[in-house]
Structure formats: structure tokens, C-alpha cells
Structure 1
Amino acid sequence: MSEIAVEEMSFEQAMAELERVVGALERGDVALEDSIALYERGAKLKKRCDQKLKEAEEKVAAITLDGEGNPLGTKPVEGL
């Protein structure tokens, strides 16, 4: 099974992988060098999740604006 590049992951894929990385780091059962590599991967995964959330927020904002950019009555969206 080939590993998906972080840059190509969906939000859900990146979040699941990030949870796996955090779990491994919290258990502390990996060697120091492996911990460093996991931490670096975790940082990339967090950045990807942040990017995908920002994209989603921008899409929601675009949906709640009319063609001229005026608000149509925006309200917070659960989970974003």
C-alpha cells in the first residue's frame, strides 16, 4: 500500500492520519528518530487540515453572499 502525499489528502484522510500520529507519539513507544519523523509528519498533516478548513469556510462564505458580494444573512456553520 503506497502512502498518499499529504498535499493530496482530503480533510478526513489528513485528520485520521494526524490522530494516528498523535496516538503513536502519546504512547511513547517509538524511537527518538521515529518520533521526530512522526512529529514532522504531524505538522504537515495539521497544516493540511487547516488549509482544507479554510477552503471550506471560503466556500460557505461564497454561498452566503449574493452576486455582488452582499451578505444574504450569514450565520455560523456548525463544525467550521
Structure 2
Amino acid sequence: MMKEEGTVIKMKRVFIDEPGQGLARKGILETIRNSRRRGLSIIELKWFTGADIFVILEALKQLQKAHLISVRKRHAVHWCYPLHEVA
């Protein structure tokens, strides 16, 4: 809450889901699934996708909330693992 000249201004966080973010989520999920290894680090995701690190982090957060991936911290590096899909 901010006060400015006796009036109260309420600040709200607005999240806009841009089409590019949806493509980033899909691309990151496909990259993790198609890797021949068990998981990928966030640094490797940046190398493979070429996306901005902030776009990657936001996409990973949304994929984790949707229970599509698991993100674990190991040796100061965040690793992303695909979760098994339930049919």
C-alpha cells in the first residue's frame, strides 16, 4: 500500500500470460523430455533453448505448479526432472 498526498493507492500484481511464454513453457518441457539424460540444469536449458533466463525461470515455476516437472537444488545448481505422465 502506498500513500501519496493523503490518498491511498492499492498496488496489485498483474500477471499477463503472453503467447511467447506459452511457447517457452512448451519448448522447455519438450527439451527436458527429449534429453537423453535424466534431467537438465537451468544453465543447460538456457544453452539449449536460447531463451532469456527470466523467461526460463517463470516457465519452470509454472510447469512445476502444473506438476509436469520437478526442480531440485543439488550442489548449488537447480536441476529439472520430468515427472511421469499419468494416462
TM-score scaled by length of structure 2: 0.27
Q: Per residue, is there more helix in 1 or in 2? A: 1
**Relative contact order higher in (CA < 8 Å, ≥ 6 apart):** 1
TM-score scaled by length of structure 1: 0.28
Q: Per residue, is there more strand in 1 or in 2? A: 2
